[in-house]
Amino acid sequence: MPGAYASSKIMTRRFLLAQLAAVGAVFPQTARALGDPLENLNTSHPRLILLDSDLQRVHALVHDVPLARKLHEGLLRDAEKLQTAPPSEYKLIGPRLIAQSRRVLDRIYLLALLYRLESRPEFLDRALKELRAAALFPDWNPTHFLDVAEMTHAFAIGYDWLYPALSQTDRDWIRGTLAVKGLDPAIAQYKENASWVAANHNWNLVCNSGAGIGALAVAAEEPDRARTILRSALESLPRALVTYGTDGGWPEGPAYWNYATRYIVSFIASLESATGTDAGLASSRGFERTGRFRVYFIGPSNKTFNFGDAADDPGTAPEMFWLARRFNQPVYAWAEQRDADHEPHADPLDLVWFDKDARTPHTEDWPLDALFTGIQTAFLRSAWDDPNALFAGVKGGDNKANHTHLDLGSFVFDAGGTRWAFDPGPDDYNEPGYFGPKRFTYFKTSTQSHNTVLIDGANQDQRAEARLMLHETDPDLRWVEIDLSKAYPAKLKQWTRRVGIAQKQALLIQDSILATQPVDALWGMMTDADIIFSGQTAELRKGDWSLSCEILSPHHAVFDVVTDSGTKKLVVRAGPKIPELELNVLLTPHRTGQPKPVVTKRFPV
């Protein structure tokens, strides 16, 4: 999950109406059709996500599967270290309590799971210590409701998973705290029609799911509160589930895909284990395909195409195991086994949802390219099973999307196990106006810091959209084309960008620009490599690999390097202001000291 979170945005009336119309098409079963959401409630505990009947399966995995055993051992180490750590404190960072809410949630999952598996009383005692500290917080910061949702989730898991071991006194104060500081603020927000209730982004899935999990935990004792929340959540959730579109992409980028998807999966799993139904949530169009998005957005360098407010570390995504089993997608399980094996700290849900039936994309004959047209983003690679393979992610998209940067046309590039062209990721969420009018004045959110073409040194239009237009799959040159003409509507008549992998050995990038009047067009690629440049060639070096860069056309264009805000950017200068530009750049990776491959393929005219 991401380490920072955004403020909710209010959608325009036109967009909201379109979303609500789409909801009816992709999610016909509404809360009204469901009747009483507690009709078939399992009144025993635990009833959320992991039933007692599932524990035998987890024990067997730990015994039989080396990776599951490694995860279990890592969880034990973390829980033992936690014994001497102080409990969480009420401490806001900017307007957010989210760091504390997340810490409590992570600790409760860890301690409660291990108590159920090991029956060690110190894990129970430490979990209660954490819950008591958070119960004494003056509130859970309802003005930033993600904070409440995460803490409600934590108390729900603590109450439900530890219920058989709790005294009646402990049950009462945990349930009472959850109801007063979690459920009641949620009910108030539903009544006020808070912006996240109608939103189509991560806030909707996280807030509804956190509140819903809390409601299910105490539903037998608090049926009125629980019904109110569950009916409201089931009515609200389709407005964000529609965002997965037909192909499972997520416009807020990889990190917020992980955040939103983990939460909706946790709620669906809780709903099923507690009531015997998922209320149709998992049948939302595109949801069964959304694991593909994560498989494709991670490159051979083990970095994501981290567009938007996201770092490039993929972390883990335990929901991939759940999605693998639900939709019979063994490649999803392969992806999460790989990522869980890389992480220094195990995630409890990786063990809870572990799926040992994994297959590689190559074995399953997955295509090397993937286009996610719902978010206008494409991924290309030269191989699945080669750690030195070429990989490129390139995006069009919508500059109005939540958490977006002004980055239409931007790309990342991996080769030789190295990230050569990178996205700088988010800026500091606590900068003044970061989620307001000053957002795009910051370097990392501006067009200047992205791997695209900067026109007259200005930001792209904040309302602009860009669409994937072509995808060609010739084995010697697989490429996509994006129409970027709306990025600078007052300055450009036309701009198309082609990005392709040539002969599985090089990346080709072509920009065709026609301006309304002469403009300064600056091609750029953020990199942390060492750079030697001269005229139309440049050599980038990182470790044992080099990247040879060549301007194929026009002949008067030259490479240069620009530094800004502690970053380095390889740029192409096309000279004085020009009315049109046909720029072709070839990026060829090779081991340092060895000749670069000869690449002859070019884009068709």
Domains along the chain with CATH numbers: 32-283 (1.50.10.100), 370-591 (2.70.98.70)
What confidence category does residue 34 fall into, taking pLDDT thresholds of 50, 70 and 90? Answer: low
Q: Are 104 and 151 in contact (CB under 8 A)?
A: yes
Length of the chain measured in residues: 605
By C-alpha distance, which of 372, 391, 531, 382 is closest to 467?
372
| Token pair of 580 as six digits | 């049109």
Whole-number CA gyration radius for the chain: 25
> What pLDDT, in 10s, does the model give residues 498-533?
999 999 999 999 999 999 999 999 999 999 999 999
| Token pair of 125 as six digits | 């005692």
What confidence category does residue 29 fall into, taking pLDDT thresholds of 50, 70 and 90? Answer: very low
- What's the rounded Cα separation, in Å, for the pair 593 and 540? 13
- What's the rounded Cα separation, in Å, for the pair 397 and 484? 10
- What's the rounded Cα separation, in Å, for the pair 156 and 104? 12
> What pLDDT, in 10s, does the model give residues 361-397?
999 999 999 999 999 999 999 999 999 999 999 999 9
Quote the mean pLDDT of the chain: 94
Is pLDDT of 143 > 50?
Answer: yes
The one-letter code for the residue type at 493 is K
Q: Are 519 and 455 in contact (CB under 8 A)?
A: yes
- What's the rounded Cα separation, in Å, for the pair 157 and 31? 24
DSSP helix, strand, coil percent of the chain (3-state; round to 5): 40, 20, 40
Is pLDDT of 209 > 50?
Answer: yes
Q: Are 216 and 226 in contact (CB under 8 A)?
A: yes
Instruction: Calculate the CA dihedral of residues 265, 268, 274, 276 and round it to 10 degrees.
Output: -130
Q: Are 435 and 203 in contact (CB under 8 A)?
A: no
Angle CA 567–568–571, to nearest 5: 140
> What pLDDT, in 10s, does the model give residues 531-576?
999 999 999 999 999 999 999 999 999 999 999 989 999 999 999 9
